[in-house]
A and B are shown apart, each in its own frame.
Chain A
């Protein structure tokens, strides 16, 4: 036992966490005693300090800091790669430095929180099935939709993209790993910490945080202690994002294989490069907004107390300066996935590759100029509305370029409509709708009427579900054979797509209508005139939820016993498909040389990269353009 507690791992994490609570208890009571504050023990104080500090103890216990501390203290460090790569399933529950292991960890943890967040959505819909109170009181209801949004944004969409890119990106650019493998591990381990903290808020006295994922002050400042769980959990999720983004940036800039110029990078790499720029620049702003709330709550700073010179609108400006770019953080990696899937499954180069890359950068730049379009009715200075409307509408132009180029990529291709492709094509259509309602919302006169209504709820779900979620599904099905070495069940994949596609629309399309008709969002009760549509929406949403169980079943069963996939089942040109599935522990025997563009389908004899093929890896089953380079 003692030996186990000395080793990094769960036992030590538990011991350290308990130690952490005791330290926080001592710190709080000690300081209160020293300054003669009465009473000496204050549960709220201990809890808030613990929320900040215990996660660090946990991360230390699980082993995120061992190497660095050893190195910093001048002791010998052994670079034996003992924590690199997974030999059994148990290794996925340990701190690991292999980007492929971390990628899988990211994806599985994100989907775990996706299912919980989805369950919360079912609860919301059950409550809203008819007017009046069904299952939960208003406090619980506000908590459930707040946690639904928070989990799906901070613990699913953002990290699952980081997970997919973690797995695929180093392989794509011909790198043996990410630039900072230990930082990569730390980034991952902060996620379950943040997610667990958010869920634990249900146990807080006064209930979970219930001010929405936007946590507007002063509602969040006056709220019960559950709000602190949000305020602090977001810090950990944000720190995780920033560290990963830095890691991607350095990896992409410095670790590309010889010959991999920027304009030979696959668009997924471009997409994550752009996303990482957004994350690094924007995420500190949400950290600031939440620290201000925390300081107001815990220490009476009066940032948001107008009676003492505080400014309530400042919260919204700082919050949205992150949270609008966050929408692109939740979309750009998906854009990259769609480009990969379309080119490979339509057997054609991505149409207008350079414009596709430039439009990503244009979205990054413009993404920082539009935040106040969330505040058209907030009471901010009226004049800001017109410039913000114009910049917002302009984003439709680079986004339009991407949509039209994807359609043109399909044009005259040899299109294989399998599961990843269904999600990709479905995405283009649904995201177009979400984009159109976005342009409508940018128009101030209309926004004044529909902001804070179900029209907004419909729009964000067309963007984040019809948009991000569809791309995530395309990506998961597309790289499933690479990650597991096995093939998913195509039939179940198609059933999953069609059920999702149909009931996604039945669920969210009517929300446009009831929103314009006057149903506000974030309500547990509504006027009787909206009853029929809400019942239809609720029933449809349950079927939508059921469809995700088919996906879960398909993934688990196929991972355990699906047919062997081979190294390159899609006959793709990009580098990740030229190594075995799953790839060797250090990815490549020798670093590949890149000699051409990533999507030269249809060009006779075209090769993207030359690899020294390890003797034991057989050539892929499919023989197409890709076989030229083997």
Chain B
């Protein structure tokens, strides 16, 4: 090699500087990553375990990225082709067994350590629930969840999930149509709801409040709207709510305390998020409501010859008769459970009047 000064050997000073840059940049990177507010609030006993695991992964990962990028940038900065070096070649270094052994063994150790940690953590998370743990049956249907809490007096159905704080609960997750995924981000766990089998997980809610229940597996048109809530209550409050739910006739939940006088238009446009009743207007066009969606049939055109009773039937049992050009099973068939009788009546009245220009 020629005598260009910048092509000289990498000195001990260079190495110290490089190492210092990697250490400092890694420290800054780790601090930044840990300072970011990554996770939603911690709502279950599992959440702190997962969040700590994440921190460990970040602390291991950042230095790897920083080291690779620093070496890249240093090489490019130090050995960039200068004018007059167009015909110059680098030294014919073909490899170094020592180096190759080192960068095979170190990642192997890191991987072994991380997978061991992960496996132990997984065993903890999956620990079988104690006998007598409360069981909640979670049923996914396009595009809503309904819940069935098992009690000594028989199952209590609800369109909204209620759980008592600090008591273990086991979810039996099922689906009636396609694959859904039962996920409460604040709890950190999720599992697919698979038709034909029952999947489970168990955890202990540790925080009072209301959290999102999200469907995480693409399940069709209404997938994005398959969002409900879980409310974690104190033991006393929980007992009261469950007693109320059990008293309520049949399986109809109190729809978040709906008043007798229900606004049909509001139900049509926004549904009832508390019970998981999807908004009609998300899929159907209706001039009076100003909705234009084309996922389902246009109601102004489709319902011209139908009376209130027929409309009620279509809402409660949408798969009975399908408008040509549309598919079976797209519209949720759960309105009989997610809406109260009063709400259904109000909704039917609203649609009937809107389509036929009455009222």
Does A pair with B? yes
CB <8 Å contact, A525 and B224: yes
* Complex contacts, B218 vs chain A, CB 8 Å: 142, 211-212, 216, 219, 522
Among A157-165, A539-547, A599-607, the stretch in contact with B: A599-607
The answer to the question of A377 belonging to the interface, with a C-beta cut-off of 8 Å to chain B, is yes
Structural contact, A601 and B36, CB atoms closer than 8 A: no
- Given the complex, which residues of A lie within 8 Å of B119, measured CB to CB? 386, 389, 444
Given contacts A312-B194, A403-B68, A414-B90, contact A452 B217 (CB under 8 A): yes
Distance (Å) between the CB of B290 and the closest chain A CB?
Answer: 12
B219 / chain A contacts, CB cutoff of 8 Å: 219
- With A310-B196, A417-B76, A432-B69 given, is the CB distance from A602 to B104 under 8 Å? no
Could you tell me the distance between the alpha carbons of A385 and B123 in the complex, rounded to whole angstroms?
11
A440–B57 CB distance below 8 A: yes
Q: How far is the CB of A366 from chain B (nearest CB, A)?
A: 12
Of the stretches B77-85, B154-162, B260-268, B308-316, the one at the interface is B77-85
Please state if B295 and A139 are interface contacts (CB–CB under 8 Å): yes
Partner of A222, one of B37, B53, B54, B327: B327
Q: Which residue of A407, A412, A446 is within 8 Å of B72 (Cβ)?
A: A407
- Do B192 and A378 have beta carbons less than 8 Å apart? yes
Q: Are B65 and A312 in contact (CB under 8 A)?
A: no
The answer to the question of B125 belonging to the interface, with a C-beta cut-off of 8 Å to chain A, is: yes
Whether the pair A306, B196 counts as a contact (CB closer than 8 A) is yes
Stretch at the interface among B178-186, B230-238, B244-252, B342-350: B178-186
Q: Identify which of A349, A414, A517 contacts B185 (C-beta below 8 A).
A: A517
Q: Is there contact, CB below 8 Å, between A415 and B80?
A: yes
* Minimum distance in angstroms from B159 CB to a CB of chain A: 19
- Find out whether the CB atom of B103 lies under 8 angstroms from the CB atom of A432: no
Whole-angstrom CA separation of A405 from B104 in the bound complex: 11
Q: Which A residue's beta carbon lies closest to that of B120?
A: A445
When A379-B199, A429-B72, A448-B189 are in contact, do A527 and B53 touch as well, CB less than 8 Å?
A: no
Chain B residues near A451: list those with CB within 8 A.
190, 216
- Kindly identify which residue among A348, A407, A414 contacts B92, using a CB–CB cutoff of 8 Å: A348
Cβ distance A341 to chain B, nearest Cβ, rounded Å: 14
Chain A positions 572 through 612: 1 when the CB is less than 8 Å from some CB of chain B, otherwise 0: 00000000000000000000000000001111001000000
B-contact 0/1 string along A133-171, CB 8 Å cutoff = 100011100100000000000000000000000000000
Question: Which of A64-72, A173-181, A390-398, A483-491 has 4 or more CB atoms under 8 Å from chain B?
Answer: A390-398
Interface string of B269-308 (1 = CB under 8 A from A): 0000000000000110000000001110000000000000
Question: Taking A211-B218, A312-B195, A377-B190 as contacts, is the C-beta distance between A518 and B92 under 8 angstroms?
Answer: no
A436 contacts B61, C-beta separation under 8 Å = yes
Interface centre among B54, B76, B87, B90, by most chain A C-beta atoms within 10 angstroms, is B90
Known contacts A139-B295, A401-B104; decide if A428 and B72 are in contact (CB<8 Å): yes
* Cβ-based interface call for A411 (8 A): yes
Task: Kindly state whether residue A224 has any CB partner on chain B within 8 Å.
Answer: yes
Stretch at the interface among A244-252, A351-359, A465-473, A550-558: A351-359
Q: How far is the CA of A307 from the CA of B175 in the complex (A)?
A: 12
By a CB distance below 8 angstroms, the chain B residues around A6 are none
Q: 1/0 per residue B185-227: CB within 8 Å of A?
A: 1101111101111010000000000001011111111111101
**Contacts A352-B100, A355-B100 hold; do A218 and B189 have CB atoms under 8 A apart?**
no
Please list the residues of chain A having a beta carbon within 8 angstroms of any beta carbon in chain B: 133, 137-139, 142, 205-206, 210-212, 216, 218-219, 222-224, 306-307, 310-313, 346-349, 351-355, 377-379, 382, 385-386, 389-390, 393-394, 396-397, 400-401, 403-405, 407-408, 410-417, 425, 428-429, 432-433, 436, 439-440, 442-446, 448-449, 451-453, 513, 516-518, 520-527, 600-603, 606, 622-625
Which residues of B come within 8 Å of A, CB atoms? 7, 10, 36-40, 49-50, 53-54, 57, 61, 64-65, 68-69, 71-72, 75-76, 79-81, 85-96, 99-100, 103-104, 107-108, 111, 114-115, 118-119, 121-122, 125-126, 177-179, 181, 183, 185-186, 188-192, 194-197, 199, 212, 214-225, 227, 282-283, 293-295, 325-329
A-B contact pairs, 6 of them (CB 8 A): A206-B326, A410-B79, A412-B90, A446-B53, A518-B186, A524-B224
